[in-house]
Chains A and B, each alone.
Chain A
Amino acid sequence: MLDTFEILTTSGVVLWSRTYASVNPSVINHFIADVLIEEKSTAAGANDGNSAATNPPYKHEQHTLRWALVKELNIIFVAVYRSLLHLSWIDKLVDNIKALFVSLYGDQLKKPNTTIVECVQFDEYFDQQLHELEGARSKADDATDEALESRDDTALGGVGEEPPLPPSLAFRGRAQNDAAKEEQSADSTPIMTPNNSRPNTPGGSHLVVAKAGPVAKMSRRAKKAQNAHLAPASSGDEAPARRSNTAKATKPKRGRKWDADGLADVDDGDVQLDYSAPNAVASDSDASAAGRSTAVEEVDASTWGSKTKGKFVLKDLGDEVQSILASAEAKNPATKTDASAGLVGSGLSTIGGLFRNFVGGKVLTKEDLDKAMKGMEEHLLKKNVAREAAVRLCEGVQKELVGVKTGSFESINARVEKAMEASLTKMLTPTSSLDLLREIDSIAAPPVTSPNKARPYVMSIVGVNGVGKSTNLSKICFFLLQNKYKVLIAAGDTFRSGAVEQLAVHVRNLKELTVREGGQVELYQKGYGKDAATVAKDAVAFAAQEGFDVVLIDTAGRRHNDQRLMSSLEKFAKLARPDKILMVGEALVGTDSVAQARNFNASFGPGRSLDGFIISKCDTVGDMVGALVSIVHATNVPVLFVGVGQHYSDLRNFSVRWAVEKLLSSS
């Protein structure tokens, strides 16, 4: 069962909600933070947020969320239910509620400077939709033969809520009907079925009108499924007539003539009576025409109504809902054709569009943006951003901009650049504070009130061969020594010849440099050939004993796609238990940066990932700092430091503004 359904704005105000079982609000907060702000789960271009059916469900603890977004109005629709339940109609519910809410309260949402939307009456609409979809669903489970049709489509509609009548009842009705006609056997014989639609009582002509039904918006397949479900729910008399609609939908309508004794003569002539779209994949104009024509029929269809439980109030509401849904659906293709007609159409609007290109105030369409986005993508690629990241960034920006009005005297390119700047800033900005010194203080020298005991702060550095792990480690060490910490360096690279000696040289240099300022640094080494994880563990224990503030662990460089070498990292993370694992990535690397970052991020086993990146060799690439973007894009792990030179002091905090400026600068 549904736990809760909420409609909220992007500014965080819940406009309307319905709760069946209380759900901790943190579930939805996590969803917003993870999916919409940090964009953790989105695979590149997988969804546009428009429809719940295409948005991947979000799972948090025991709950699953289905959601949809209306970008123009800044509202989000979220349905929460227990993950244990498999509710296939939820996405349809979310979409229907979305269409209803937008059409009912859309104009209220556009008002500036208010967060109030009067939507008390929406309860009824929601109940109606829920009953309808749930009803259709349960029926689909019961009635096995209908369920064969299409399980998903059953969720689409169906006005009835009653359990299906026993098949015998439906059969009796059909038999009656058969008596009046000739040799009808079953619905499945296509030629004969048109006769089925003749009611046995000529006065009941309303049943003929029931062709499209109130669900004009649905695909033919869906209609078929729906009608199939309606059939057993209604009384025996109506059943055959409606059932025939199912069959009728499967083949073209034909002209009929009536002979003297009331029998139908099927005419295969060229008179076309079927004005509906020939199939589901009709062209845009066809589809909109179909939508309109069925919507018109829906009006007379509503006069007969369904006698579900005899509740006419409910029925009226249901019809209103259906007509809203139908018009919302009909609008979709219509707007599309309008847009294209407007572009190639009257010269005046074209000139107006050109004019607005310069003056601003132009509503951006996908076509306008395509060229600008292509240029932006090209630009990013030139800055050494991996293709994958560049494409995703551009898609994000494009989605964000479609339908946005440009400002006064603002060209499309300027608008795109602005949006890209915002998007890059958002991506590169870390979620939590990255003040390393404060973190070290809180662990190595916790306040007296804190229950934690002082222990050394453990940092380890990983990376591919030759990116500068040892160099950056010494740079960090230098920085810490200047801040008067007692540092132990552990030689975890027990593999490469000369690695330990290299660190020893660094330690000697650092000692000489900082001895006057009071820094203390020692090297912990166990020679070559030992297991790096054990060495690291011993080093941490040693540091705790000797009262060191910080332990810096160097590791051997490893290729990120070598499973054998990477698997030892998991053991390393378990034994040494570093407070921070930093990965060194070089700014020189191109597309491979994405794979490097991903593989290293996943190599520490479940529950542990990288805490930050150090981007080395930034001084060698000039403006082309795209590797930064690729790495952060792939992992959502922030960049901590940037290496900008050969000296110990050439380490910098990462500044988002600096990176964004470099990325967008053109030269």
Chain B
Amino acid sequence: MTAMDTLKNALEASLKPTPTVMLVGLAVVLLFPVLLHFILSASTPYNTLPSVLLVGPSGAGKTALLTLYERGLLPKTEKPAPAQTHTSQTPASVELAVNEDGTSSFRDDLDASGSTAKKFLLVDTPGHAKLRRFALSRLRNIPTTTSTGKTSKAKKDSKLKAVVFVVDAAALADSDGRGDSLAATAEYLYEVLLALQKRMGSSQTSRMPSSVPVLVAANKLDLFSALPAALVKSQLETEIGRIRKTRSRGLLDSGVGADDLAATEESDNWLGEYGSEKFTFAQMLEFYTEVDVIGGNVAGDGPGADKWWKWIAERI
């Protein structure tokens, strides 16, 4: 009976317009949104490290390069050795650091030398044709829908600083014979460059989107059959020129109606300088996209991956 009474009293007290009740009510009303904000912001990590995107066809050595840079920083390992890798299915990102003036090697331990470090994320993307949307949507600034919540969240907020397009220079060499590795590689590079070009043109606001330089990393130069960087560049340029030509002559995509035709000019889908005979990477400068081709290798003996690291470090 007493329990019932106290309950009744408490209920009555809570319904009376007393100052205490008013204060408690006010506090609840005011604090609730604040609390909600904290709960939500705690669940989504806010991370704005600049990022560098690793793209390229399957088997070019993207994941190997990623692991090389990551493991190269380990003080324990004697010499930098990339991990054994296989075909990627999901993107992976790794936090790396370079010192302020961008001169440190990926082998250096920045903590030991005591210099201030600039951190950035190196994001590896799968190169398989079915999974390229990770990379391309990232380039188009659309948040990706990955099944792995862990990786996608960190990526969404980070700022894209540069793109490293890894190419298997050894596979390009024998593309004349049987494989169409050159064609496939060039096509992917074409997609990437076109995405970057459109990104420049499609800014709604007056502020230009920051320019994204592209590094074509001619990998596997340790192999005897690999093409040197200059040849890789010229081969890719001619192949992209060929793709550009056939694309312009090709059929329209399904879903493009006659009325849309007028709206989208032909030059929008033309990579580089419109109407030019030959495609060169220099044409991309018109769209504030700088393209460099540098040779190197992840595994084996050769020029190594230091030049690429330097290139990345300069752009962070």
Beta-carbon contact of B124 and A11 below 8 Å:
yes
One digit per residue, 1 when the CB lies within 8 angstroms of any chain B CB and 0 when it does not, for chain A 1-34 equals 0000010111111100100000001001100110
Cross-chain contact A14 with B44 (CB below 8 angstroms): no
Name which residue of chain B comes closest to A39, CB basis: B130
B130:A113 contact, CB within 8 angstroms: no
The stretch of B141-149, B163-171, B268-276 that contacts the partner chain? B141-149
Q: Are B255 and A658 in contact (CB under 8 A)?
A: yes
The residue on A at minimum CB distance from B257 is A644
Q: In the assembly, what is the distance between CA of A368 and CA of B151, in Å?
A: 24
Residues of A within 8 A of B243 (CB): 435, 438
B89 at the interface (CB under 8 A from A): yes
Interface residue? B63 (CB, 8 A): yes
A401 close to B (CB within 8 Å):
yes
Q: Are B147 and A419 in contact (CB under 8 A)?
A: yes
> What is the distance, in angstroms, from A497's C-beta to the closest C-beta of chain B?
32
Q: Which of A404, A405, A407, A436 has the most CB of B within 10 A?
A: A407
Task: Contacts A418-B145, A433-B187, A658-B254 given; indicate if A112 touches B151 (C-beta within 8 A).
Answer: yes
Given A114-B95, A115-B94, A429-B130, does the pair A17, B150 have CB atoms closer than 8 Å? no
A438 CB contact (under 8 Å) in B132, B150, B246:
B246
Say yes or no for B34: interface residue by CB 8 A criterion.
no
Question: Are the C-beta atoms of A37 and B255 separated by less than 8 Å?
Answer: no
Contact of A115 among B92, B126, B145, B254 (CB under 8 A): B92
Given contacts A110-B150, A112-B150, A115-B94, whether A651 and B88 have CB atoms under 8 Å apart is no
Task: Assign chain B's interface to a size class.
Answer: 35 or more
Asked if A361 CB lies within 8 Å of chain B CBs, one says yes
Interface residues of B in 116-172 (CB under 8 A from A): 121, 124, 126, 128-133, 145-151, 154
A-B contacts, CB under 8 A, total: 179
Contact partner of B252 among A10, A12, A447, A652, CB < 8 A? A652
- Interface membership of B27, Cβ < 8 A: no
Neighbour of A12 across the interface among B86, B255, B256, CB < 8 A: B86
Most buried by B among A8, A430, A651, A654: A8
Is A408 part of the contact surface with B, judged by Cβ < 8 Å? yes
Please determine whether A116 and B87 come into contact, CB atoms closer than 8 angstroms: no
Q: Chain A contacts of B67 at CB under 8 A?
A: 13, 115
Q: Does A422 sit at the interface, judged by CB under 8 A?
A: yes
Q: Provided the pairs A14-B84, A426-B131 are in contact, do residues A653 and B187 lie with their beta carbons within 8 angstroms?
A: no
Which parts of A396-452 form the interface with B (CB within 8 Å)?
400-401, 404-405, 407-408, 418-419, 421-422, 425-426, 429-433, 435-438, 441-442, 447, 449-451
In the assembled complex, the CB of A203 is this many whole angstroms from the nearest CB of chain B, namely 51
A441 touches which of B85, B129, B246, B255 (Cβ 8 Å)? B246
List A contacts of B264 (CB < 8 A). Answer: none
In the complex where A14-B84, A447-B176 touch, is A115 in contact with B253 (Cβ < 8 A)? Answer: no
Nearest neighbor of B96 in chain A, beta-carbon distance: A113
CB-contacts of A116-149 with B (<8 A): 116
Contacts of B94 in A (CB 8 A): 113-115
Q: Count residues of chain A with CB under 8 A from any CB of chain B.
A: 70
Q: Given A25-B86, A408-B43, A419-B147, are A653 and B130 neighbors across the interface (CB < 8 Å)? A: no
B255 close to A655 (CB less than 8 A): yes
Given contacts A10-B88, A29-B59, contact A653 B253 (CB under 8 A): yes
Whether B296 is near chain A, meaning CB under 8 Å from some CB there, is: no
Q: Which of B15-40 contact A (CB under 8 A)?
A: 36, 40
Q: How far is the CA of A6 from the CA of B252 in the complex (A)?
A: 45
Contact in complex: A115, B70 (CB < 8 Å): yes
A-B contact pairs, 13 of them (CB 8 A): A11-B89, A11-B124, A12-B87, A33-B58, A33-B128, A115-B70, A359-B36, A361-B40, A418-B145, A419-B145, A437-B250, A642-B254, A653-B252
Which residues in A have some Cβ–Cβ distance to B below 8 Å?
A: 6, 8-14, 17, 25, 28-29, 32-33, 36-38, 74, 110, 112-116, 359, 361, 400-401, 404-405, 407-408, 418-419, 421-422, 425-426, 429-433, 435-438, 441-442, 447, 449-451, 479, 482-483, 618, 641-642, 644, 651-655, 657-659, 661-662
Given contacts A14-B84, A29-B59, A433-B183, 8 further A-B contacts (CB under 8 A): A14-B83, A37-B89, A113-B154, A359-B36, A426-B130, A450-B177, A655-B256, A658-B254
